[in-house]
C-alpha cells in the first residue's frame, strides 16, 4: 500500500503496518529525525513494532527544517507566537494530502460539508499569515457552497442575524470559532439554537482569564442554547485533527493515533487511564515527521478516545489548551 493510501486504513493491523513502513521511509529520508533516532540508539533494525518507534519532540519544528528529502513547499504553516518568539514551521509538500485529511475526517464524524453552512469566527488567526486552521476553514467555507458561509471577523451583529435566520430555516450550521470569540458572542447575544454544531478550536491564551474546559463549555452551552460543545484538536505540526462531539472526549480518524508517555520517563509509553505527555502518530505527515511528542498532557480511554488536560508549558499549540495547570 503506498503511503498516500492512508485514508483507506480500517484496522489496527493496517495502521501498525503503515506506521512501521512510514518510520522506515522517514528514518531514511528525514535527516533531522534520523539524527534524533540515532541519538536514542534506534535504527531500522531495532524498530520492530509500533512501541519501538521514537517520537520527535515538537520543539524541533521551531529550530530545524523537519522534512523528508528536499522540496519546495507548496505552503509553510506557522504557529502563532508572541513577538520575538520562535514559531513552528511545517513545510507542506502536498496540499491535497492536507485537504483529503480534514475533508475525509469531517465526513466521517459529521457528514458531507455541503450539507452545512459554515460560519467561521477566528479573528486572531485571520490577523496573521500561515495558519493551517484558516486554510482549512477557508476551504470548508468554499466547499460548503452555501451563500452565507464565510468569515465573521468582528461583526457579531451580522453573525447573530445570520445564525437566527439560518436556524429559523432549519439549515444545518457549523459555527467554528476560537474560544474567546465564541464567549464574546454569547455575552453579547445569548441564543437558543436548534441546528448548529458549535465547535471551538481552543484559543484562550492571553485574551481573557483562562478557563478550564468544563467552565468554558458550560458558558457556551448556556449561551448558545445547545446540548454539547464540539471541539477540534489539531496543531501546526500535523496534517490531521481529532474531534470531540461533547464532554471533551476526542476521537481521531483511522490514520491518526494518540498515545501517552510517562512524564518522568518520556521514552516509555503508558496504558490507558493514566495522565501523561501526548504522543501523536499522524500518517498524513508523510513528508515531514509522523511521530511527534507534543507538549500537551492527556489521558487515553479504553474506547480509543482521549482527553487533553493541559500542557507542560506555554508552547504554541493550536486547538486545545484552554487551561494552565
Residue 275 scores a pLDDT above 80: yes
Distance (Å, whole) CA 56 – CA 27: 11
- What's the pLDDT at 125? 74
Mean pLDDT within 148-165: 93
Please give the grid coordinates belonging to residue 133: 486552521
H or E stretch at 199: strand 196-200
> 129: helix, coil or strand?
coil
- What's the pLDDT at 121? 95
- What's the pLDDT at 154? 77
Short-list 238, 277, 224, 230, CA closest to 77: 238
Residue 317 scores a pLDDT above 90: no
Span 88-134, pLDDT tens digits: 999 999 999 999 999 999 999 999 999 999 999 998 777 778 999 99
- What's the pLDDT at 318? 40
β-strand partners of 258: 280
Please give the grid coordinates belonging to residue 121: 469566527
Distance (Å, whole) CA 262 – CA 143: 41
Mean pLDDT within 217-244: 96
Distance (Å, whole) CA 19 – CA 6: 10
- What's the pLDDT at 228? 97
Work out the burial of residue 249: count CB atoms within 10 Å of its CB; fewer than 13 is exposed, 13-18 middle, 19 or more buried. middle
Please give the grid coordinates belonging to residue 95: 496540499
Percentage of the residues of the chain whose pLDDT score is greater than 90: 79
- What's the pLDDT at 312? 77
Amino acid at each position: 500500500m503506498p503511503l498516500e493510501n492512508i485514508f483507506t486504513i480500517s484496522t489496527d493491523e493496517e495502521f501498525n503496518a503503515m506506521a512501521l513502513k512510514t518510520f522506515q521511509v522517514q528514518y531514511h529520508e528525514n535527516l533531522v529525525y534520523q539524527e534524533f533516532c540515532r541519538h536514542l540508539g534506534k535504527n531500522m533494525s531495532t524498530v520492530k513494532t509500533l512501541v519501538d518507534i521514537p517520537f520527535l519532540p515538537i520543539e524541533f519544528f521551531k529550530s530545524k527544517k523537519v522534512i523528508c528529502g528536499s522540496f519546495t513547499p507548496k505552503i509553510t504553516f506557522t504557529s502563532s507566537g508572541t513577538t520575538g518568539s520562535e514559531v513552528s514551521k511545517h513545510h507542506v509538500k502536498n496540499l491535497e494530502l492536507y485537504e483529503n485529511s480534514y475533508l475525509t475526517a469531517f465526513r466521517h464524524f459529521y457528514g458531507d460539508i455541503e450539507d452545512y453552512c459554515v460560519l467561521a469566527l477566528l479573528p486572531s488567526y485571520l490577523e496573521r499569515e500561515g495558519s493551517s486552521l484558516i486554510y482549512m476553514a477557508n476551504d470548508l467555507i468554499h466547499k460548503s457552497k452555501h451563500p452565507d458561509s464565510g468569515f465573521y471577523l468582528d461583526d457579531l451583529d451580522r453573525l447573530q442575524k445570520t445564525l437566527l435566520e439560518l436556524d429559523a430555516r432549519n439549515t444545518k450550521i457549523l459555527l467554528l470559532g476560537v474560544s474567546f470569540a465564541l464567549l464574546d458572542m454569547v455575552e453579547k447575544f445569548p441564543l437558543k439554537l436548534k441546528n448548529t454544531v458549535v465547535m471551538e478550536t481552543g484559543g484562550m491564551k492571553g485574551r481573557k482569564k483562562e478557563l478550564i474546559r468544563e467552565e468554558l463549555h458550560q458558558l457556551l452551552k448556556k449561551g448558545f442554547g445547545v446540548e454539547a460543545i464540539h471541539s477540534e484538536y489539531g496543531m501546526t505540526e500535523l496534517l490531521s485533527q481529532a474531534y470531540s462531539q461533547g464532554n471533551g472526549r476526542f476521537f481521531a480518524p483511522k490514520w491518526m493515533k494518540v498515545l501517552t508517555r510517562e512524564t518522568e520517563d518520556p521514552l516509555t509509553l503508558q496504558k490507558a487511564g493514566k495522565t501523561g505527555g501526548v504522543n501523536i502518530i499522524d500518517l498524513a505527515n508523510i513528508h515531514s515527521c509522523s511521530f511527534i511528542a507534543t507538549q500537551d498532557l492527556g489521558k487515553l480511554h479504553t474506547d480509543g478516545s482521549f482527553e487533553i488536560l493541559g500542557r507542560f508549558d506555554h508552547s504554541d499549540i493550536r486547538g486545545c489548551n484552554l487551561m494552565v495547570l
